[in-house]
A and B are shown apart, each in its own frame.
Chain A
């Protein structure tokens, strides 16, 4: 069973603050890592898919890093805005090849104006 842990469970930050949260996973049998952003009453939206150790991806003010050897990924948000409020989900495939994703419980971010 693949265990995907996300921390913290929830986070409140002031508008303009930068923040980060963590996704931890078993370092053995790594294939890929997905980050999704899930706003209330909407569908989860893909942010990044990362496959290589040391990979760093960026989309606007959001970036992510990946360390497959130690089994973690960080998601950073620079200069948080109220519209960044959402649940951020991390997910990894169960196995190699065309296999389903296992999701973490998510980090719920609230940005206070």
Chain B
């Protein structure tokens, strides 16, 4: 089976610009998660989709972050406008059922200058 894919792998943008990250989960995985790792810190939860519904968005830092999962397939995470502290690696992961392991994408390394 194809794994979780993320695009782009790297993005360098200036403060104030907009960036959209995309995640294609494993086909058939209803659960889709966004996580972020800032340099030197732990991987932190941002958002959880079950199919197209937002199950939990308690980890979203602020309203500059908008995630969507139209049709319950791929997901996008838009940062607008980007700030310096948004720099980090954004991971997407998907899973089938409760307590099953997460399948991670390779991440998008976002650098805001």
A100 & B98 in contact (Cβ 8 Å cutoff): no
> Known interface pairs A43-B91, A89-B43, A103-B43. Does A98 touch B102 (Cβ–Cβ under 8 Å)?
no
Q: Which of B14-22, B48-56, B68-76, B77-85 contacts A (4 or more CB under 8 A)?
A: B48-56
> Known interface pairs A43-B91, A43-B105, A46-B102. Does A100 touch B4 (Cβ–Cβ under 8 Å)?
no
A71 at the interface (CB under 8 A from B): no
> Known interface pairs A44-B104, A46-B102. Does A103 touch B59 (Cβ–Cβ under 8 Å)?
no
Residues in chain A near residue B41, CB distance under 8 A:
105
A32 & B48 in contact (Cβ 8 Å cutoff): no
A34 & B102 in contact (Cβ 8 Å cutoff): yes
Residues in chain A near residue B33, CB distance under 8 A:
100-101
Chain B 13-55 residues near chain A, CB threshold 8 A: 31, 33, 35, 41-45, 48, 50, 55
> Known interface pairs A34-B101, A42-B106. Does A100 touch B59 (Cβ–Cβ under 8 Å)?
yes
**Among B98, B102, B103, which residue has its beta carbon within 8 angstroms of that of A97?**
B98
Chain A 26-64 residues near chain B, CB threshold 8 A: 31-32, 34, 36, 42-46, 49, 51
A44–B103 alpha-carbon span in the complex (Å) = 8
A105–B50 alpha-carbon span in the complex (Å) = 26
Which single residue of chain B is at the shortest CB-CB distance from A44?
A: B104
Residues in chain B near residue A49, CB distance under 8 A:
99-101
A-B contact pairs, 28 of them (CB 8 A): A4-B42, A32-B99, A34-B102, A36-B102, A36-B104, A43-B3, A43-B4, A43-B91, A43-B106, A43-B107, A44-B102, A44-B104, A45-B104, A46-B101, A97-B98, A98-B98, A99-B48, A99-B56, A100-B33, A100-B48, A101-B45, A101-B102, A102-B45, A103-B42, A103-B44, A105-B41, A105-B42, A106-B42
- Residues of B at the A interface (CB closer than 8 Å) are 3-4, 31, 33, 35, 41-45, 48, 50, 55-56, 59, 91, 98-107
The 4 closest A-B pairs by CB, nearest first: A46-B101, A43-B104, A103-B43, A105-B42
